[in-house]
Structure 1
């Protein structure tokens, strides 16, 4: 089984290089979307590598905006357009890192072939704090003077938004591991439902809802596993997860997950060094 690791990155070329190195394997290919703001010269190591594809038509990604959905879709399209018959497409950020060796990751997906791994909590029943993302207008994806004033008046004057196409919204984490068939389905679905794209362009952080919702409301629902296979620490209650350090390592490794985030090689290199040793020890057993 071949695995496509689709990595969304915007900075930290040294850390991205280490991430790719930790996942390199005869079964692994890499598709990297670099934020349009990133300096390509700093990522020259990605060039001329037969198993690394730089996603074309880079997107200028804004936090909480639809632009990250667009970057992901362009990555998905690059994977599909490669013509390689991948068993899984594994969506990562440049701040992620594996907790298992490449053979262990490969074997896990072989044992679970056909399953789609992502978090999908009901927005209306379990993840209710996300309801305003869908019922209110959000202009996060747009850039023009006084846009937040316009947004305020849109929400004062217009009725609450409703989900398009009869979709039941679910979601949570944007990071997921999907079959190539599921990725193809999402691309085809959005091509055929422009109203869904239009709706999510006015949604805050749509990357945490759009893909899960499409698959949940599709024939793929029975294949979904409500587990994104990632260790992420939200204990600080902030908008972004905790940056993991050596103090977290025992909990991270005890989680049994395949990947974890977030890491910062520049600030906390020791935790990644220890993970490398753990991965290498398992690799060569």
Structure 2
């Protein structure tokens, strides 16, 4: 059975083309969403894999519910296109670290497991702030250096403080879970997820960074919880190697090829066009090692 690769892209299209080349295999269907804000849509192609560039394009905003919306759109498009063994959610600046032969063999060996990585740190305060309070102007979380941007930040901060002082909570009955939103999940789980689409979009309106929460919470409170590949490690559970520093994701750089390919994980994020030597090394490695 084929695999579906679901890619969210908004910039760095040279890297996106390398990513497509690394996934260009007849055993794959690839679904790409290009952000609505992109005016000059790149020409993308594959020779072996079926490539679907979504006609419906969403204006995706950081930390906003539109991030959930685009993920659900990709899952829904791929799910209704064909039945797939696995659905791999990637950004346009991610890369696989293994060949397609390895990837298909790995997921066949662990067929039925859900590769969802759960955060291990204490996050109760973080969850309270992100999804148990109301956030104003959710489409404008990114810092704006203007009077209007300052006004939005001020009002958002005041409203959050008001909720804290007065004890205003939302979603009280939900035990939220969190982790990286980049996952590899089965057809059965995607079908289950899509039955909750309307409820998800309603629950997570006016929240903050809930794309890291909605899928994990739904999975945790379902029978699919018993199918999680690894509860103890967020990286191993998702099969993604992601490097963090000061609560920010660090890009991989030239000279770090050996460190990357010597990990036990299947995917890595993220890369940039300033370090294309590393990207070319990775693409050569995964396409030649069959």
Give the TM-score range, shorter chain: 0.7 to 0.9
Q: Tell me how far 1:47 sits from its aligned partner.
A: 9.4
1:151 alignment partner in structure 2 = 156
Number of positions where the alignment pairs a residue of Structure 1 with one of Structure 2: 272
SS where residue 60 of structure 2 aligns?
Answer: coil
- Measured on the aligned residues, the alpha-carbon RMSD in Å equals 2.3
SS where residue 247 of structure 1 aligns?
Answer: coil
Task: Tell me the distance in 1 between the aligned counterparts of 2:46 and 2:101.
Answer: 25
**Structure 1: any 5+ residue segments left out of the alignment?**
none
Residue 5 of structure 1 contacts residue 91 of structure 1 at CA under 8 Å; is this kept in 2?
A: yes
Residue 89 of structure 1 contacts residue 179 of structure 1 at CA under 8 Å; is this kept in 2?
A: yes
Residue 6 of structure 1 contacts residue 31 of structure 1 at CA under 8 Å; is this kept in 2?
A: yes
The TM-score with structure 1 as length reference comes to 0.87
Q: How does 1:49-128 map to 2 (within 5 A)?
A: 51-82=50-81, 84-121=82-119, 126-128=122-124
Residues 237-279 of structure 1 deviation map (CA, whole Å, 9 limit, x = unaligned): 143x111013322221121110101111x21111112112222
2:33 alignment partner in structure 1 = 33
Q: Tell me how far 1:33 sits from its aligned partner.
A: 0.8
Determine if the alignment matches structure 1 residue 184 to structure 2 residue 183.
no
Task: Tell me the distance in 1 between the aligned counterparts of 2:276 and 2:257.
Answer: 13
**Structure 2: any 5+ residue segments left out of the alignment?**
142-147, 232-236
Q: Which one scores higher on RCO, CA 8 angstroms, separation ≥ 6?
A: 2
Determine if the alignment matches structure 1 residue 242 to structure 2 residue 262.
no
Q: Rate the CA distance shift 1:96–1:141 in 2: closer, same or farther, 3 A.
A: same
Q: Rate the CA distance shift 1:23–1:129 in 2: closer, same or farther, 3 A.
A: farther
The TM-score with structure 2 as length reference comes to 0.86
Q: Rate the CA distance shift 1:142–1:268 in 2: closer, same or farther, 3 A.
A: closer
Q: Tell me how far 1:216 sits from its aligned partner.
A: 0.8
Q: Tell me how far 1:147 sits from its aligned partner.
A: 3.5
Residue 239 of structure 2 contacts residue 267 of structure 2 at CA under 8 Å; is this kept in 1?
A: yes
Task: Tell me the distance in 1 between the aligned counterparts of 2:183 and 2:269.
Answer: 13
